[in-house]
Amino acid sequence: MLDQTISRIRRNHGLEHATIHILTEKHKQFSAQGNSDHRGFSLNIYGDIKDDEVEAAVREAYRRLRNGEYHLAVHPNCGTVLVTTAALSTLAVQLVFGIDSLRDNSSSNNKLATLLNTGPMAVLMATLAIIISRPLGMKLQEKYTTDGHIGDMEIVQVRKVSASIITRFFHVLLVGGQDSYQPTAYRIETKG
C-alpha cells in the first residue's frame, strides 16, 4: 500500500514537471510552482497563460511521457534540488566552522576574529557545495522523487481552482507580486 502511494506521488510529480517543461517550450514570460500527492498535483501559474493552454500542456506532457520522453519528469528548479543545495551548503559551512573551533579553542572568545579568519573558507566551501548540489539534486530527483514512467496512470481532470495562501505566497516569492504575473491555480487529478 505504501509503495503504491509513493509510486503515485512520484509519477504525479513527474507529470507536474513535464507539464512545466511543455509550458516553458511555448511561453517565456511566466513562472510556475506545483506540488504533487497521490491523487494528482496542484499547479500555480504566474503569468498570462490561458486555461485551455494549461490543460493542453498537461495532456501533451502525459502523451510525451507515455512515448518515452522520461527526461521531462526531472526539472532543475524542483524542491529536491533546492533542498539538496541548502543541505550541502549548510553542512559545508558547519564543517568549516567546526574544524576551526577544534583547531583553535584559545580564540573562541573572539567571535569576530573567528568569522574574519574562517569566513572566506566557509564561502568557498558553500560555493563548492552549491556547484556539486545541482547535479546531485537532479540525480536524487530522478531516482527518488519523480518517475517519468507513468504506467497505467490516467488524467481524470484538469480544473481551475481558487488561489490558496500558498499560491499567493509564491506570487510574492517568485515574481515579486507583480500585477502582470497574476496567479492562477489548477488541480490536476489522476488515477491508476
Convert the pLDDT of each residue in 96-141 to its tens digit: 988 887 775 555 567 776 777 888 999 999 999 999 999 999 999 9
Q: Name residue, grid cell 543541505.
A: 87
CATH topology of domain 2-75+152-191: Threonyl-tRNA Synthetase; Chain A, domain 2 (3.30.980)
Residue ranges per structural domain of the chain:
2-75+152-191, 79-145
Say what the pTM is. 0.89
Contact 93, 122 (CB under 8 A): yes
